[in-house]
Amino acid sequence: MNEFDLIARHFQRPTPQTLLGPGDDSALIEVAPGMELAVSSDMLVAGVHFLPDTEPRDLGWKTLAVNLSDLAAMGARARWALLALSLPVADEAWLAAFSAGFFSCAQQFQVDLAGGDMSRMTRGGALSLCATVIGEVPTGQALRRDGAQAGDDVWLSGYPGLAALGLKHLQGKTVLPDALCRLCVHRLQAPVPRLLLGQLLRPLAHAAIDVSDGLMADVAHIAKKSRLAARIFLHRLPRPPQGVERALALESLLSGGDDYELAFTAGAQQRPAIAQIAAQLDLPLWRIGQMKADATTPAVQLIDSEGKIVPWEKQGYDHFLALPSFS
Amino acid sequence: MNEFDLIARHFQRPTPQTLLGPGDDSALIEVAPGMELAVSSDMLVAGVHFLPDTEPRDLGWKTLAVNLSDLAAMGARARWALLALSLPVADEAWLAAFSAGFFSCAQQFQVDLAGGDMSRMTRGGALSLCATVIGEVPTGQALRRDGAQAGDDVWLSGYPGLAALGLKHLQGKTVLPDALCRLCVHRLQAPVPRLLLGQLLRPLAHAAIDVSDGLMADVAHIAKKSRLAARIFLHRLPRPPQGVERALALESLLSGGDDYELAFTAGAQQRPAIAQIAAQLDLPLWRIGQMKADATTPAVQLIDSEGKIVPWEKQGYDHFLALPSFS
């Protein structure tokens, strides 16, 4: 079986939202009136962005999920994806498992795999994956990083930090109780893009970002883009899970970037509406901080319950710096 | 300087066609009324799709150009690009040269680099590049592979095969005369996407493809998608350049895939209009074959001047098979 047949077998599925799907030079898509498009690409390389022995099914899910998370952070509805992959060996079992994971995510979030480049398979080199996602958002209503306002509450979804704990466990750097370990590894391998949350927040939030570089670093992105400063209140952060050393849990929460939760800001008058969304989605939404007008201070500061600044050096995940700990 | 600064320095340029450019979770773009979008992604990996010692400036050009070629083959106007790259070392000189080549191509074809993923730089692994391009085409007017009609002429632009000769020269597999060598290597390293040709062909051609897998293989794609057979006339192909062995030149023309010329089909009544486009663009357009209704024969056959079938085994570039010759 040549590569064209392999591609057709594993990557051509119905594309009901697409004018012309895989198999031509480009895919063709049509945008609904009154909508603009949110577009984003992410590349994942084996040994850098995921452990080389990651299950291909998990990897397929994650490749799409981390991209969809970018659309979630814009408040967009996901519609199409393109996938480019470079595979060291033409391993059909691997392709079958990878595509099963990818399409499992695509179906759950109603995304068409419209096209891409699956022909560039190779006999050498690292496994590289690149997904591009395209979503629709009503014109002018996207949640940007630069829209935060002084006085806004800073919010955070879910339980960030679990994925970073899962990674540390897989790397043999910490030992977690069994049940917690399974949860953390699952969060690492199968993150859930918060697409519905993003869409529900569109009329409420002023700014949003997905936490992929680490909470402190990502809230700093919002603050810098909005020319404000953010204060994160230590005592308002989600409690660390039981069975984990507190310092490790806090570091994972503040600088871990693999959970793909959303951080966002909104005016205080939106608190009841945001609480309602949390109940509707059965997803905790934590009010963890506040935006301040004083842009002369650091973009983000951690504050304890007495109002004192907690020294916090690590400003998130810088890929150049972080790699040595990953090998 | 951290990676965010490196990215800002080398990859943030004005994006006049883009609602929201690099620096947020997604880019935001707006589609003109009456237009649909053509979208395509291609991945390039060092040692597989390009020689590892390729000049970064050439590579920057080529990364965008090969993607734009897919839009050309749809008759689309190029508008936006996303770039994801994974770099083994954070080498600023390399980034500067690469981005110079990339933006040189972007400016020539009026494409905004709207976003992507340039933060995933790494200290290990192969250099991987993935570009996604987005173009506009009037609704329903894209040039697809499946639109060829029985009796259509088959056309080819430019001088395909030169890039494959250039590659063979760089690999030490052939020796070319100096001037020809420079031309061939230039074609390999800096292919020109035939965007204007594609747009001018929209009202004339029935089907189009860019020649990236090799002429015979790519014309076969049109034939199969259109449920027809194609006959390519040996004596109508562009003459091989002087100073090259004829068999080598022919093999490069028929199975070389790095020139990114267009192959297309059109009714015989369009010959004068197509000749006019060739003159307007100062680009040779060769009428090299014909589409036949008989889909029981092979999808593409090579025919000599006496009407006899010329045996032709190699059906183009299959990445799984072709790699060993590339290392």
Q: What is the pLDDT of residues A96-112, one digit of tens each?
A: 999 999 999 999 999 99
Strands B112-117 and B77-86, by their bridges, are parallel
- Residues counted in chain B: 327
ipTM: 0.90
Per-residue confidence at B268, pLDDT binned at 50, 70, 90?
A: very high
Question: What's A147's DSSP letter?
Answer: G
Report the alpha-carbon distance of residue B176 to residue B167 in Å, rounded.
11
Contact check, Cβ <8 Å, B115/A25: no
Residue B47 has its nearest CB partner, among A117, A125, A213, at: A125
Closest residue of chain B to A320, computed from CA coordinates: B122
Residue in the block written with tokens 């404000």? A228
The number of beta carbons lying within 10 Å of the beta carbon of residue B313 is 6
Closest residue of chain B to A263, computed from CA coordinates: B25
Round the average pLDDT of chain A to a whole number and report it: 89
CB distance from B281 to chain A under 8 Å? Answer: no
Contact check, Cβ <8 Å, B119/A38: no
Which residues 14-53 of A have a C-beta within 8 angstroms of B? 19-20, 23-31, 33, 36-49
Percent helix, strand and coil across chain A, each to the nearest 5: 35, 25, 40
Residue in the block written with tokens 């036949």? B292
Report the alpha-carbon distance of residue A119 to residue A84 in Å, rounded.
8
Contact check, Cβ <8 Å, A73/B26: yes
**pLDDT over threshold 60, residue B319:** no
Chain B residues inside the 8 Å CB shell of A78: none
What DSSP string runs through A218-274?
HHHHHHHHTT-EEEEEGGGSPPPPTTS-HHHHHHHHHH---S--EEEEE-GGGHHHH
Is the separation of the CB atoms in B32 and B76 below 8 Å? no
pLDDT digit string, tens, across residues A108-145: 999 999 998 876 555 566 788 999 999 999 999 999 99
Which of A235, A40, A18, A33 has the alpha carbon at shortest distance from B27? A40
Report the alpha-carbon distance of residue A315 to residue B2 in Å, rounded.
12
Does residue B208 or residue A213 have the better pLDDT? B208
CB distance from A311 to chain B under 8 Å? Answer: no
Q: Which pair of tokens denotes residue A12?
A: 């051509």
Number of helices (H) and strands (E) in chain A: give both, helices first. Answer: 10, 12
Q: Which of B11, B26, B30, B87 to mutate to test the interface with A (most CBs of A within 10 A)?
A: B26
Q: Which domains does chain A have, with CATH numbers?
A: 3-138 (3.30.1330.10), 145-316 (3.90.650.10)
Report the alpha-carbon distance of residue A117 to residue B115 in Å, rounded.
19
CB distance from B222 to chain A under 8 Å? Answer: no
CB distance from B267 to chain A under 8 Å? Answer: no
Chain B residues inside the 8 Å CB shell of A76: 26
Contact check, Cβ <8 Å, B90/A43: no
Percentage of chain A lying above the pLDDT 70 cut: 92
Is the separation of the CB atoms in A13 and A23 below 8 Å? no
Contact check, Cβ <8 Å, B27/A42: no
pLDDT for A2: 65
Rounded to the nearest angstrom, the minimum Cα separation between B272 and chain A is 27
Contact check, Cβ <8 Å, A2/B209: no
Residue A124 has its nearest CB partner, among B85, B137, B323, at: B323
Rounded to the nearest angstrom, the minimum Cα separation between B230 and chain A is 18
Residue in the block written with tokens 């450019």? B21
**pLDDT over threshold 60, residue B326:** no
pLDDT for A5: 73
Q: Per mean pLDDT, which of A16-25, A84-93, B9-18, B267-276 is the most reliable?
A: B267-276
Hey, which bits of chain A come out as E strands? 27-29, 35-45, 77-86, 112-117, 128-138, 153-157, 205-210, 229-233, 262-266, 285-292, 300-303, 309-310
CB distance from B224 to chain A under 8 Å? Answer: no
Per-residue confidence at B52, pLDDT binned at 50, 70, 90?
A: confident
The number of beta carbons lying within 10 Å of the beta carbon of residue B327 is 11
SS (H, E, C) B142-159: CCCHHHCCCCCEEEEECC
Q: How far apart are the first and last CA of chain B?
A: 35
Residue in the block written with tokens 């002087």? B242
Tell me the C-alpha to C-alpha distance, in Å, between residue B227 and each of B150, B222, B301: 9, 8, 15
Which residues 97-126 of B have a C-beta within 8 angstroms of A? 114-117, 119-126
Contact check, Cβ <8 Å, A25/B74: yes
Rounded to the nearest angstrom, the minimum Cα separation between A237 and chain B is 23
pLDDT for B325: 28
Strands A153-157 and A262-266, by their bridges, are antiparallel
Contact check, Cβ <8 Å, B36/A30: yes
Closest residue of chain B to A24, computed from CA coordinates: B145
Round the average pLDDT of chain B to a whole number and report it: 89
Burial of A175 (0-12, 13-18, 19+ CB in 10 A): exposed
Chain B residues inside the 8 Å CB shell of A30: 36-37, 139
Closest residue of chain B to A4, computed from CA coordinates: B318
pLDDT digit string, tens, across residues A42-97: 988 887 778 888 899 999 999 999 999 999 999 999 999 999 988 877 788 999 99
Strands A309-310 and B27-29, by their bridges, are unpaired
Report the alpha-carbon distance of residue A123 to residue A192 in Å, rounded.
32
Rounded to the nearest angstrom, the minimum Cα separation between B178 and chain A is 32
**pLDDT over threshold 90, residue A195:** yes
Report the alpha-carbon distance of residue A86 to residue B326 in Å, rounded.
16
The dihedrals phi and psi of A109, each to the nearest 5 degrees, come to -105, 15
CB distance from B61 to chain A under 8 Å? Answer: no
Q: Which pair of tokens denotes residue A99?
A: 């595509």
Report the alpha-carbon distance of residue A200 to residue B140 in Å, rounded.
34
Does residue B51 or residue B164 have the better pLDDT? B164
The number of beta carbons lying within 10 Å of the beta carbon of residue A277 is 17
Report the alpha-carbon distance of residue B138 to residue A13 in Å, rounded.
26
pLDDT for A89: 75
pLDDT digit string, tens, across residues B84-99: 988 877 788 999 999 9
**pLDDT over threshold 60, residue B224:** yes
**pLDDT over threshold 60, residue A320:** no
Of A122-136, A252-266, B213-227, which range is least confident? A122-136
